[in-house]
Amino acid sequence: MALPTMTPEQRSEALAKAAAVRKARSELIAQVKQGSVSLAEVLKRADNEDLVKKTKVAAVIKALPGIGPVKAAKLMDEAEIPVDRRIGGLGSRQRAALLEALNA
């Protein structure tokens, strides 16, 4: 299936929208890094916000203070969460397991 052809105006609008989404997502990750937003708050916001739903779980976990790539991979493995999973795709059991693993 071929991609639809876009006018230059449509293309520039799409690029601006994508840039705004990337900026908002990076601000969310920065808030998690600073500790002003907890993982529990991020999971709660995922119920209402599409931006949060489409954020990768691994990116949020790696942004938590004191957690690097190795520990993040271990936590995701313990909670049985695939590496490429997004927050909106987490089930209630996975959310609970992830929060429990972080509090332990």
Dist. CA 87–CA 40, nearest whole Å: 12
- Model confidence at 13, in pLDDT bands (50, 70, 90)? very high
Query: Where are the domains positioned within the chain?
Result: 13-103
Pick the closest to residue 92 from 37, 43, 58 (CA basis).
43
35-69 pLDDT per residue, tens: 999 999 999 999 999 999 999 999 999 999 989 99
**What's the fold here for domain 13-103?**
Helicase, Ruva Protein; domain 3 (1.10.8)
Residue 3 pLDDT > 80: no
Q: In whole angstroms, what is the distance from residue 47 CA to residue 2 CA? A: 33
